[in-house]
Amino acid sequence: MIAIDSRLYDEYSALRLGGRPVPDDLRVLIAMQQNRVVKKRHYADPLEQLDVAIIMPQENPSLLAGDYLTAKDMEDLGTRAKVWADREVFAHIGFVARLVDDNDELIGYWWHPDEAPGPPPLVRYDSEGQFHLIRGATATEALLIEISESLEHDEEEYEQIRRWFAEDYSLAVAPYAQARELPWPTPAVSPQELNARLQREEYGRLTS
């Protein structure tokens, strides 16, 4: 794989991860996307096969920007409260990937200050504005597990992509059977519960 200028990782750390180091597997995924040579008949890499786009440093995905909302939408106090609560929760997430074939839903690291030290849980923000904790020790593993379950991949499809990650990119992902037994994250603060509480509080403030 062609090397990537380290300045890109520095920029990624600063703009997408709040200054935290770019995880090793995410570095590989970034390089995979940046070095992609599009092929007409076959996927160029496993990330393309999963239809995942790594969010680049200057990118502002629509679900984060809220540019799908109209002025009329924002007249609704419930909508305004939800948008405010979402942005408060976004401040604790380092979003790194878009699920292109699934309404551009987002995957990121959950970094609430009340969480214990160690690898952060991963969270999915869906097109309905809900936050879901997802399984996986790394972004790569979480992406494969999450997308395979969404698309109902069978074991053969899952294993084909898993081996591609392992053999060509040295990225370890749990085998099919083991992946389905991985525990769900249990963070100190649930992003969905935090969002719901903040939304209630903001709606109360707007209507008082």
pTM reported for the whole predicted model: 0.93
Q: What is the pLDDT of residue 1?
A: 54
19 assigned to some structural domain:
yes
Q: What is the pLDDT of residue 82?
A: 97
Q: What is the pLDDT of residue 68?
A: 86
Q: What is the pLDDT of residue 190?
A: 98
146 assigned to some structural domain:
yes
Cβ neighbours, 10 Å, residue 174: 19
Q: pLDDT per residue over 20-29, tens digit each?
A: 999 999 999 9
**Closest by Cα among 132, 55, 65, 141 to 100:** 55
Q: What percent of the chain has pLDDT over 90?
A: 81
Is the pLDDT confidence value at 2 over 60? no
176 assigned to some structural domain:
yes
33 assigned to some structural domain:
yes
Phi, psi for residue 107 in degrees, rounded to 5 = -120, 135
What letter would DSSP give residue 50?
T
Q: pLDDT per residue over 47-73, tens digit each?
A: 999 999 999 999 999 999 988 889 999
Q: What is the pLDDT of residue 186?
A: 95
1 assigned to some structural domain:
no
**Closest by Cα among 168, 164, 106, 163 to 134:** 106
Q: What is the pLDDT of residue 67?
A: 86
- Alpha carbon distance 163, 114 (integer Å): 36
Domain tally, the chain? 1
Cβ neighbours, 10 Å, residue 81: 20
- Alpha carbon distance 124, 115 (integer Å): 17
174 assigned to some structural domain:
yes
- Alpha carbon distance 31, 3 (integer Å): 7
CB 72 within 8 A of CB 66: no
- Alpha carbon distance 27, 48 (integer Å): 16
Report the mean per-residue pLDDT for the chain: 93
CB 142 within 8 A of CB 136: yes
Q: What is the pLDDT of residue 151?
A: 74
Average pLDDT over residues 13-19: 96
- Structural domain including 14 reads 6-207
